[in-house]
Structure formats: C-alpha cells, structure tokens
Amino acid sequence: MSNNLFFSILTLTFASEGDLRIWRDKVEVFSNDKAIAYLKQHGQRSLTIIETRENDTIKGVAIWEYESQESREACQAYWSKWFDFDGKFIAKSTFVRGAKTFGW
C-alpha cells in the first residue's frame, strides 16, 4: 500500500432537500457492486458521503479516497461518465483534490 494517499473532496450546497435526494440517488446508482469492484481494482479505497443541515443550509460532502494520484486518474474513466446521465439537481459545488500530507 502506498503512503501517498490521494483524496478528492466535493462540497455541495443544495437548493432543497429534493435536490440532495436526487444527488444521493445518483451516487447510489453509480455505486453498484460491479462499479465498486472495478474502482477498487483500479485503486479507489472508498467513497464517503456526509450530509448536514445547519442554519437552514443543506450540504453534502463526498470524499473519494485513492491509493495514489495515479489511482484517481485510472478511476476517472468511470467517474467521468457521471455527466452523461440525467440527475437534475441544483447545487453550488467546490472540489479539493490532493495528497495526504498529515494525519493521525
């Protein structure tokens, strides 16, 4: 296992609970058993979803963990298909990608 774990973190602020639900449903469709096997074979270690509702704001966070930056790039063949399928929801998004440099 590499010591150079790589993360891709997406933060979304949703317009409504319905928008969050559409996004979550799409994540679940993309996380079927066959897809998970393919992604793990190419170095994705996990996908974590966190949801929060604070101060009348609905947010979701997706955290993709990879063995390395190269693993993330290999898995993009799958994740890039995300935009080929409907999933009409309204959200403001921000991505952060990078290698793990500290942790305990």
Does residue 9 sit in helix, strand or coil? strand
Digitized pLDDT (tens) for each residue of the chain, 104 residues in all? 447 899 999 999 999 999 999 999 989 988 999 999 999 999 999 999 999 999 999 999 999 999 999 999 999 989 988 777 766 788 899 999 999 998 89
Contact present, 31 and 85 (Cβ < 8 Å)? no
Give the tokens for residue 38.
């393919």
Where in the chain are the domains? 6-97
42 DSSP 8-state letter: T
pTM over 0.85: yes
Which residues make Cβ contacts (< 8 Å) with residue 5, sequence separation at least 6?
45, 65, 66, 67, 68, 99, 100
- Protein fold of 6-97: Alpha-Beta Plaits (3.30.70)
Written as six digits, the tokens of 36 are 């998970």
